[in-house]
Structure 1
């Protein structure tokens, strides 16, 4: 009965439009009251959930991304992407994919990515004659790759949700090849739609221009190298790498690109504080929810339900993907990771999936949720910038969505996509 109260009240609150964090918290408190347990138990779980030292990486990674967004790094990345792909059919769309992918590598946030790249490229694409729905779809789907990049704070959240069963270094390496696969799928979708709609091709500026623009963008892109090399070499931990990313971003924005004013620094800090507060609130409340899920054996019940449907691993993986995708359309990324990891990770491990591979599958599903109504954070930001309705964008989303679903299936059923690089470097 208590588990029924927990699940039903949570679902009803979501349907009533209550924010996700409050839906999770209120349903958890209602369950505690029904059980006659002290409410202090719930608040203790919240505090302990937000208390791990590793979570310091979250505000640092978020702050680094905000500094890079305000510090002129995005402009240099856009220039490099345009010089590299602008001469292809639908060149501005192809450039958009590359720019979003590269900026996602330094920001680690799909939301920051679509905000920064969308503000620059969506109006520019519309001005050049591209349809608004195409510009928005290209930007929002390409920005999702940021969730798999080494600077993504969601990697840290998953590592902690997995209860220490995964190495941060292995998880970071596991996301690199899938990120490339997602980017290729986005490029194919963008090119296919561009050819179908007859978008024009640009003029190749020459390799000297490509080299110069690459040199201009290289200092910003170098943050990814610093993080990976630092963690693998043991020079610093994942938490320390986030603080190094902040220092590098401040150095670039202040002394190299010289675009970061004091006012912009305050804006970046304010946005980082706001985002950090939202994420940590979700983490704390999800910890209370997760405590109740563990208490009532939800993971075991779910495992029994899935294995009663089939004992074939590929069927179980497909069911898990569908559930994660559906939940990702309603829940914030952090909440989905924290709630679903303790439930589905043991099931997938029993079926032969490694923790690192499951983590990447989880992040791709959560990223797809960011671009799917009713929550669809990145899509709503993109539509706002492009001044186009969500309904219009959804009508033409399928080539891009199909590409990402194909990438998800490849990562799910071919372990080498996520495990080849960690096995090569770490073992």
Structure 2
């Protein structure tokens, strides 16, 4: 079946079929043409992939994100980021990057980062004298931290595929790599701003003003502390944390920022339901796709082949980087995690690689695929919001590809970036 499964998948993706439907159709084609299994088994496997208590965290975190991304919360984060760095050369670009890192602790999604504060920052940067294509490319690069800084939907899905890690340990493992990626994109923005003379005319606000802005933004930023701290100290499970996040978001939106009305809730719930449905459809299709691979013994074959090569851990990780970067050109992170992690994670564990370290490498690699054509979702989200051709944005991306690539290499060669916080936190 595998000889039909993969060609069918790549053909459907090349034709522009959505990932979930491409995977499901390719599975049906493989079963129809090369097996005696009934088609009902595909539906069964899709439902089995969704029949999971930890998976309930995904729609609740999406709902909390929708509630928290109202105008007042987003503006509070943008104002805080701008108060820190807005007076520097390239300050609006720096504010874009820092606000994405802050917003990552609320949304857990790269696409939400780009479509929310990223869109607002693009408009602000254009008014401040930045080229619109550059502002869009910077937003694409800075949004990469969305699934890496906790809470992260991708990390929840990863923990379901690898029994050697937990959601809590992955949340802690993503903090330093996320900050590293933020720092590398800041450096790239500083160099480009100096070369293009993107100056800032805004003076540095007084410390009292910065403190007032920070205090106003604190309730929004406290969400990540509540989630990670509660999981770390065993107060609640990740699934329970997602429900608590929803109630906390409702409280903050209604009673702290007072930007959320009861009349807004039906629209918010509808948007969260549509997003959750799309995510869960991808996960169900990926489960059926992975089932075919298991039936065909593809994971076992690849594992035996790679182990027979007797690669050192570093060479294996570099090989995995190349594989995942190539895979990310055509596949979104969530199906990538469900298909590849059951194959690669046991091999990495057998080679003595820390499971949290390997998990972060996989997630960063697959997330970088969102920034690269031909399927890069971040490119198309930003291009639609700023009315630019995707090719125009891609031409501005090479400096950021270098910055993100350097961050990936540091994460690969310095395991402590991913293992130190989980270790001292008791994970």
TM-score > 0.5, shorter chain as reference:
yes
Structure 2: how far apart are the matches of 1:363 and 1:72? 31
Instruction: Give the total of aligned pairs.
Output: 425
1:19 corresponds in structure 2 to 18
Question: Per-residue deviation at 1:71?
Answer: 5.2
Structure 1: how far apart are the matches of 2:310 and 2:232? 40
Q: TM-score, normalised by structure 1?
A: 0.96
Identify the range of structure 1 (250-259 vs 377-386) with the bigger mean alpha-carbon deviation: 377-386
Question: Per-residue deviation at 1:274?
Answer: 0.6
1:152 corresponds in structure 2 to 152
Question: Structure 1: where are the runs of 5+ without partners?
Answer: none
1:185 corresponds in structure 2 to 184
Cα pair 2:104 2:150 within 8 Å, conserved: no
1:311 corresponds in structure 2 to 311
2:252 corresponds in structure 1 to 252
Task: Work out whether 1:324 is the aligned partner of 2:319.
Answer: no
Question: Per-residue deviation at 1:356?
Answer: 1.4
Cα pair 1:137 1:397 within 8 Å, conserved: yes
Cα pair 2:59 2:273 within 8 Å, conserved: yes
Task: Work out whether 1:47 is the aligned partner of 2:51.
Answer: no
1:79 corresponds in structure 2 to 79
1:277 corresponds in structure 2 to 277
Question: What is the SS of the residue equivalent to 2:205?
Answer: coil
Q: Deviations over 1:6-36 (max 9, x none)?
A: 2222222222222211111112122223210
RMSD value over aligned CA atoms?
A: 1.5
Structure 1: how far apart are the matches of 2:88 and 2:215? 22
Structure 2: how far apart are the matches of 1:396 and 1:71? 29
Structure 2: how far apart are the matches of 1:157 and 1:425? 21
Question: What is the SS of the residue equivalent to 2:150?
Answer: coil
Structure 1: how far apart are the matches of 2:66 and 2:223? 14
Structure 2: how far apart are the matches of 1:158 and 1:7? 22
Question: Per-residue deviation at 1:118?
Answer: 2.3
Cα pair 1:307 1:316 within 8 Å, conserved: no
Question: What is the SS of the residue equivalent to 1:259?
Answer: coil
Structure 2: how far apart are the matches of 1:97 and 1:32? 46
Structure 1: how far apart are the matches of 2:355 and 2:280? 23
2:60 corresponds in structure 1 to 60
2:127 corresponds in structure 1 to 127
Question: What is the SS of the residue equivalent to 2:75?
Answer: helix
Task: Work out whether 1:412 is the aligned partner of 2:412.
Answer: yes
Question: What is the SS of the residue equivalent to 2:147?
Answer: helix
Identify the range of structure 1 (114-123 vs 386-395) with the bigger mean alpha-carbon deviation: 386-395
2:394 corresponds in structure 1 to 394
1:370 corresponds in structure 2 to 370
Question: Per-residue deviation at 1:416?
Answer: 0.5
Question: What is the SS of the residue equivalent to 1:353?
Answer: coil
1:200 corresponds in structure 2 to 199
2:37 corresponds in structure 1 to 37
Structure 2: how far apart are the matches of 1:421 and 1:325? 26
2:9 corresponds in structure 1 to 10
Q: Deviations over 1:261-280 (max 9, x none)?
A: 34432222111101110111
Question: What is the SS of the residue equivalent to 1:130?
Answer: coil
1:224 corresponds in structure 2 to 224
1:346 corresponds in structure 2 to 346
Cα pair 2:90 2:194 within 8 Å, conserved: yes
Cα pair 1:71 1:257 within 8 Å, conserved: no
Structure 2: how far apart are the matches of 1:15 and 1:136? 25
2:294 corresponds in structure 1 to 294
Structure 2: how far apart are the matches of 1:13 and 1:399? 32
Question: Per-residue deviation at 1:122?
Answer: 0.6
Cα pair 1:135 1:386 within 8 Å, conserved: no
Q: TM-score, normalised by structure 2?
A: 0.96
Q: Deviations over 1:356-384 (max 9, x none)?
A: 11211111112111111222112222222
